[in-house]
Each structure stands twice: as C-alpha cells, then as structure tokens.
Structure 1
Amino acid sequence: MNFPEEFLHYVWQFRSFDYNGLQTATGESLKIINPGLLNKNAGPDFFNAKIEIGDTIWAGNVEIHLKSSDWLKHNHQINTAYENVILHVVYEHDVEIKRINNSVLPVLKLKNRISADLIKKYENLFLTLTDFPCIAQIGRVDEIIVNSFLSRTLIERFEQKTAPVTETLNELNGNWDETFYRFMARNFGFKVNALPFELFAKAVPQNIYAKHKNNPHQIEALVFGAAGFLNDHFEEEYPRKLKTEFQFLQKKYKITPVEVSMWKFMRMRPQNFPTVRLAQFAALIVKANHLFSKIMEIKNVAELRNLFENLPVNDYWKTHYHFKKVASSVNIQIGKTSVDNVLLNTVALFLFAYGKHTATQFYINRAIKLLESLPAEQNAITDKFTEAGVKIANAFASQGILQLKKQYCDEKKCLSCGIGIKILKQA
C-alpha cells in the first residue's frame, strides 16, 4: 500500500473501483446512489452522500481511511461531527468501529477492488523524482483539459497575490493610487532591489510629487534624494543641482532617505542598475502622475504600453549608469521585456484586485484580457513544461503554469489537479 488517503478520496469520488456486488464488511448488500461532495475542510471527507444498505436508504456523510483503525487514531469516536457518518470506506478493515451511541459503523473495504494498473499509475505520478510528476504524460493530455485547469490556477494565483494588495490598501485607508504607486515602485526594483524601492516609495508619498508635477528637476531630486544617492560630493552640474534642490525639499517634507547601502549593483547588467531604474521611475512620474487613475481609464493594451514607453528620462543618463561613472552610450528607455513585466505583475494584478475588491467583473475581465495579450514568460519552469509538450501561448498560461508547479506539482497534489486526474483516468 504505497499511496496516501487522498488516493482513496479520488477512487471514491470518481468510483474508480469495482463496485459490482458491493457488500459491507458484515455481508450486507451495498449500493452507492451518490458518493457525496468532497469536503476539503474539517469534518467528514464527503458530505451529502446517499447509499443503500440492505433495504434501507441512508443519507449523510462518508469518512475515508487507509485502515479502519485510523478512525480511532484520529479520535473520531469522541467527535460529534462524525456522528452522521453513514459509511466508513477503507482500504484495509482491521477493527470494528462504533459510533458514540455504540452503533456499529458500516464499512466498505476497497482492497482487491482497485485495479493494480490504477495504483501503478498513481505511484508513477506520486513517486517520480522528476521536475514535476506528470512530465512524461502531460504532453498527451488534451489541450482543452490543460488550458481549462490553467485557467483555474491562474485565478488562484492572482487571488493569492491580491492579499498583500488588500493589506496595503487597508493600511493606506483605501487609497488605491498610493497603493498602486508603492507596488509599481517595488516592481521597478525587480527581485534584487524590490525592498529599497518599496522603502523609497514610502519615504516620498505620491501626493508630494503631485505638488511638483510641472518641475521635472524637482521630481528627479526627490527620487534620487529619497533613494539616498545625493549624500556624496559631486563635480558634475546635474547631480550638484539635484543635491541642492533635495536639501530644500527634504527639510520641507521631512524626508528620511533610504540607506544607500541597501541598493544592489553586483552581478547586474548596467542597464538594470537601480540608478537607471530610478531615473526611469522619475520620468514615469513626470509623464503620468497618479498612474492608477489613468490605467483605470485606458482600455486599449497598446495605450497601456505607451504609458511606459518613450519616457522623458533626463539626458544625463544617456552617458551614465551611475553618478560619477561615465559611459559611452546608455539606452535610457525601459525595454519591452521590462514593460511586459510591469504590465503583468502590477497593472494586471491591480485591475484584478480592484475588480475583486469592488465585485466588478469588468475589471477582472480586463486583467485577463491583458494577460492574454502579453507574451508568455520564459524561465526554467515554463521551459520544462514546454519541453514536456505543453503549449504556453501567453502570460495567462505561463502564470497558470507557475501556480500549477508551486501549488500542485511541488506539493504532489496530483489528485487535486485536473491534469493529474485526467492522466489517472486515461486508459
């Protein structure tokens, strides 16, 4: 018996066993009218089942265990939540079980009723040491089945990612613009500099930039000053002016800069240096302050993308990756891949989160449409699924794949996965 209890849940739910001539452990005839509904919370495993034992029809709950004695190990004999169990389904029947009222609990033993082939299929999935359990079989699963389950995992992923958005929104008293601004800043830092970008955004709330929206120089001073990059001595005119401007603004708004040591430069392409990202972020604020409000109004994906393209980045950064470090030529615009990353991880997320928060399906649909229009992400995980024969057409599918891998494959939850269930059912 090399399988967990969840395997028996699958067997019972889909009646994947020989149910001809069923009998209880005491020899009474047994007929399954309805196996019930799988319960993933506390309590019996299946609710609202209906069975016929002898000449009597019973309606109630079903509990499933590998062995009858597991009932006692789990202390169900003293838990009134299990008093309405009408059938105990087990693989091995090793002890008679009685309810609290001392009545004997009917038992269905599944040993010798589950095909060896089905058990082998499950073991091949569950015991595999490959990157994901069904790596050898998923390419043969109907594309409709795969895409259908990826739709589910995509929604699961975005619902999970909505939780920190809601937390920050509550912290900011329902201010969507400021919440979006903080998450956008974090996104600009990618994984390496996400934290200092987030702290920098907290140091200078968005409403301060709004007061200087017609003065790009002051916005740049606020950005680089709050990020901690203007504490040095400079020879060049541009950083000297930024420093002078920030010294005034810092006192006016009581800004506490981020420790400059928090920013990471090592093992990064110069194009991704935080100084370049900050210059682009400042230009984005200059181009479109209160971004969330604008994004809510824009329905066209091309227009959304245009918000992050052709930014008015200061010409100083055409020849610098860092203050005091001259470069021959620098591409100061955000690359297409980075724009896609922002649209995926911030814009689509916030459209989804806003739709969920306000119970407005329109914005959820916009988020999904945006994901469908973005190219699929390419990384070690998506590459493995592609090699296994899965077609990943867009970001909607690649996000679904990432959730599938994390929440199902890594956790060996093949029996909760629509793809895994289909593989077990295949002849």
Structure 2
Amino acid sequence: MNFPEDFLHYIWQFRSFDYNDLKTADGENLKIFHQGFLNKNAGPDFSNAKILIDQTVWAGNIEIHVRSSDWLKHNHQSDSSYENVILHVVYENDAEIRRTNGSLLPVLELKNRIADDLIRKYEHLFLTLTDFPCFAQIQTVDQFIIDSFLSRTLIERFEEKTKSVIETLNELNGNWDETFYRFMARNFGFKVNALPFELFAKTIPQQIYGKHKDNAQQIEALVFGSAGFLNDKFDEDYPEKLKKEFQFLQKKYNIRPIDVSIWKFMRMRPQNFPTIRLAQFAALIVKANHLFSKVMEIREVTALRGLFENLPVNNYWKTHYHFKKVTTGVNIQIGKTSVDNILLNTVALFLFAYGKHTGTQFYISRAIKLLESLPAEQNAITDKFTEAGVRMGHAFASQGILQLKKQYCDEKKCLSCGIGIKILKQT
C-alpha cells in the first residue's frame, strides 16, 4: 500500500471499487444511494451523502481515512463538526471508533475491494521520474478530453494572472491605461529584463509621455534617461542630444533614473539587448500613446498585431546595439515571435482581466479568441507534452499546458486532473 488519503477520495467519489454485497465491519448490509459531494474545506470529506444500513436510511457526512485509527490521530473525536458522520470509509479497519455519545461509528473497509491494477496505475503515476506523471499514458487519452481540461486550466491561469493586474490597478486608483503601460513595459523585458523594465516604467508615469507625444526625440530622451543610459559622455550627436534633452526634462518632472547596472546584456542575442528593446518601446509610445484604449477598441487580430509592427524606431539603432558601439545590419523592428508574446502575455491578459473585473463577457470572449488565433508557444514544457503525443494548435492550448504542469503535474494532483482521472478509469 503506497497511496495517500486523496486516492481513497477518488475511489469513493467515482465508486471505483467493488460495491457488490457491501457490508459494514459489523456485518450489517450497506447500500449507497449517493456518495455525497467532495468537501475541499474544513470538516468531513464528503457532505450530503445518502446510504442504507440494514433497514435504516441515513443522510449526512462521510469521512475517509487510510486507517480507521487516523480518526483519533486527527482528533476528530474532539471536533463537533464530525458528529454527523454516518459512515467511516477506510482502506484498513484497525481500530474501533465511537461517537461522543458512545455509539459505534459504522465502517466500510475497502482493502479487498479495490482492483490491484487500479492501485498499480495510481502508484505508477505518482512514482514516475519522467517530466510529468502521465508522460507514457497521456497519448492514450482522447484529445477531446485533453482539450476540455486545458480549457479549464487556461481559465485558471488567466484568473491567477488577473489578480496581479487588479492589485496594480488598485495601487493606481483604477487607472487602466497606467496599469496596462506597467505590464506592457515588463513584457518588453522578456523575462531576463522584466524587472528592470518594470522599475523603469515606475519612474515615469505614462501621462508624462502624453505631454510630449508630438516630439519623438523627447520621448526617446525620457525613455533612455529614466532607464539610466544617459549618464555617460558621448561623442555621437544622437545620444548627446538625448542627454541634454533629458537633463531639462528630468528637472521639470523630478525624475529619478534607475541604476543602469541592473540591465542585463550577458548571454543574450544583441537583437534582444535592453537598449534595442527600449528603442522599440519608445517608438511604440510615439506611435500609439494610451495604448490600452486602442487595444480595447481594435477587434481584428491583424490590426492588433499592426500596433507593434513598423515602429518608428530611430535610425541610429540600425547601426548600434548599444550607445558607443557601432555595428551593421541591425533589425530594429520587433520580431513576429516577440509580437505574439506581447499579444499573449499582455493584450489577451488585459482583455480577460478587464472583462472579469467589469463582468463583461464580451472582453473575455475576445481574449479567448485572440489566444486561439496565436500559435502555440514552444518551450521546454510544451515540447515535452508534444513529445508525449499532445496536440497544441494554438496559444490557448499551450497556456493551458503551462498551468497543467505547474498546478497539477508538479504538485502530483493527478486525482484532481481530468486527464489523470481518465487514465485511472481506463481498463
């Protein structure tokens, strides 16, 4: 025997045991009309069950343990919320349990009623050393069942992310534009420089850019100056002009630049250097200030994508990856994969979060439609699921996979997973 109590919850909930000629430990005839509803909060494991013991119908709670003596170990004998337990379901009946009034608590022992094959399947899932428990079995599950559960995990993932959006929204007194600007900036950091981009965005509110929307050089000065890149001496004309422009704007708005040392350049392709990303970010502000409002208005995916394409990035960056470092052939536009990343992690998220926060299903539906139009992500996690036989046609599925791996596979919650349950049910 090598399983936790959760396994018995699954056995009871889905009646995955031999329930012919049931009897209690005292030899009384037992019939199950309804096994009750799983309770994930404090108190007995199943509520509102209905059973027949001999000639008496009982309605109440069911408590489940691996051993009946666990009742005493968990101090249920001192907890009044367990007084309405009508049946104690255990794998092994090793102790006599009585209620506080002295009456014997009926017990159903499952030790010889669970198929050995089912136990082996469960132990195989939990003892596997592969990337996720059902790596070898998931290909046997119908894709429709997988897709259905991924729909659930996708929603779970976006609901979790929405909490972070709403926290920032509350900090900013309900300003959706500023909240979106903060998250967009972080997204431009693409993991490695996500934190520096976030700190940079906090140094200068979006509304300041709005005051200079018709002057690209001032926008660029605000961006690079706030990011800490304009403190050096420059020989070239472009950075020197930005520096002088920023010195004026810094005093005007009392801007405190972040420390330039926090930006990361190591082990990165030059195309992803933070200087290039900042140049693209400045160009995005020039092209579409108050971006959130535009995102909410645009319905077509091609038009949304167009917001991040053909940005008016300063030509200086065609020959530079960094100030003072001259090169050739720099692609100054955001690549398609990066645009997809932004649409997925910021645009779709905010459509969902706004719809959830305001109770507007229209925006939630738009978020889902956007995810279904974006290609599935390719990373170490999704590649393993693809190798195991899972088909992912779009980002909706790949996002669901990431949540599945994090909340179910890594936590070994196979008994709460629709895919794991299906595998256990297979004969």
Give the alignment's TM-score, normalised by structure 1: 0.99
Partner of 2:185: 185
Partner of 1:142: 142
1:163 Cα deviation after fit = 1.2
Residue 174, structure 1, aligned to residue 174, structure 2: yes
Partner of 1:415: 415
Partner of 1:35: 35
Instruction: Give 3-state SS (helix, strand or coil) of 1:228's partner.
Output: coil
1:101 Cα deviation after fit = 2.8
1:98 Cα deviation after fit = 1.6
1:359-378 correspondence to structure 2 within 5 Å: 359-378=359-378
Distance, in Å, in 1 between the alignment partners of 2:102 and 2:204 is 68
Distance, in Å, in 2 between the alignment partners of 1:26 and 1:291 is 71
Distance, in Å, in 1 between the alignment partners of 2:327 and 2:230 is 20
Distance, in Å, in 2 between the alignment partners of 1:365 and 1:266 is 40
Distance, in Å, in 2 between the alignment partners of 1:291 and 1:106 is 65
1:136 Cα deviation after fit = 0.8
Give the alignment's TM-score, normalised by structure 2: 0.99
1:191-210 correspondence to structure 2 within 5 Å: 191-210=191-210
Instruction: Using the TM superposition, name which of 309-318 and 97-106 deviates more.
Output: 97-106
1:80 Cα deviation after fit = 1.2
Partner of 2:93: 93
Distance, in Å, in 2 between the alignment partners of 1:114 and 1:94 is 18
Distance, in Å, in 1 between the alignment partners of 2:178 and 2:216 is 20
Distance, in Å, in 1 between the alignment partners of 2:141 and 2:22 is 32
Distance, in Å, in 1 between the alignment partners of 2:326 and 2:248 is 27
Partner of 1:63: 63
1:411 Cα deviation after fit = 0.9
Distance, in Å, in 2 between the alignment partners of 1:178 and 1:252 is 20
Q: Which runs of 5 or more structure 1 residues have no equivalent in the other structure?
A: none
Instruction: Give 3-state SS (helix, strand or coil) of 1:334's partner.
Output: coil
Instruction: Give 3-state SS (helix, strand or coil) of 1:246's partner.
Output: helix
1:58 Cα deviation after fit = 0.8
Partner of 1:83: 83
Distance, in Å, in 2 between the alignment partners of 1:338 and 1:263 is 19
Partner of 1:404: 404
Instruction: Using the TM superposition, name which of 73-82 and 282-291 deviates more.
Output: 73-82
Partner of 2:17: 17
Distance, in Å, in 1 between the alignment partners of 2:309 and 2:20 is 67
Partner of 1:389: 389
Paired amino acid for 2:336: K
1:103 Cα deviation after fit = 2.2
1:118-129 correspondence to structure 2 within 5 Å: 118-129=118-129
Residue 130, structure 1, aligned to residue 130, structure 2: yes
1:404 Cα deviation after fit = 0.7
Distance, in Å, in 2 between the alignment partners of 1:381 and 1:401 is 8
Q: Deviations over 1:226-275 (max 9, x none)?
A: 00000000011100100000000000000000100000000100000000
Distance, in Å, in 2 between the alignment partners of 1:64 and 1:188 is 50
Q: Deviations over 1:194-234 (max 9, x none)?
A: 11100110001000000001111100000000000000000
Instruction: Give 3-state SS (helix, strand or coil) of 1:22's partner.
Output: coil
Partner of 1:305: 305
1:356 Cα deviation after fit = 0.8
1:126 Cα deviation after fit = 1.1
Distance, in Å, in 1 between the alignment partners of 2:264 and 2:136 is 40
Partner of 1:278: 278
1:329 Cα deviation after fit = 1.3
Moved over 4 A (4+): none
Instruction: Give 3-state SS (helix, strand or coil) of 2:406's partner.
Output: helix
Partner of 1:211: 211
Distance, in Å, in 2 between the alignment partners of 1:360 and 1:44 is 37
Distance, in Å, in 2 between the alignment partners of 1:341 and 1:127 is 35
Instruction: Give 3-state SS (helix, strand or coil) of 1:199's partner.
Output: helix
Paired amino acid for 2:183: F
Residue 348, structure 1, aligned to residue 348, structure 2: yes
Paired amino acid for 2:236: E
Across the two proteins, how many residue pairs are aligned to each other?
Answer: 427
1:85 Cα deviation after fit = 1.0
Instruction: Using the TM superposition, name which of 332-341 and 36-45 deviates more.
Output: 36-45
Paired amino acid for 1:305: R
Distance, in Å, in 1 between the alignment partners of 2:209 and 2:390 is 46
Paired amino acid for 2:327: A
CA-based RMSD of the aligned residues comes to 0.7
Instruction: Give 3-state SS (helix, strand or coil) of 2:52's partner.
Output: strand
Instruction: Using the TM superposition, name which of 95-104 and 219-228 deviates more.
Output: 95-104
Q: Deviations over 1:399-425 (max 9, x none)?
A: 111111111111111111000000011
1:211-360 correspondence to structure 2 within 5 Å: 211-360=211-360
1:124 Cα deviation after fit = 1.1
1:102 Cα deviation after fit = 2.5
Instruction: Give 3-state SS (helix, strand or coil) of 1:97's partner.
Output: coil
Paired amino acid for 1:131: D
Instruction: Give 3-state SS (helix, strand or coil) of 1:31's partner.
Output: strand
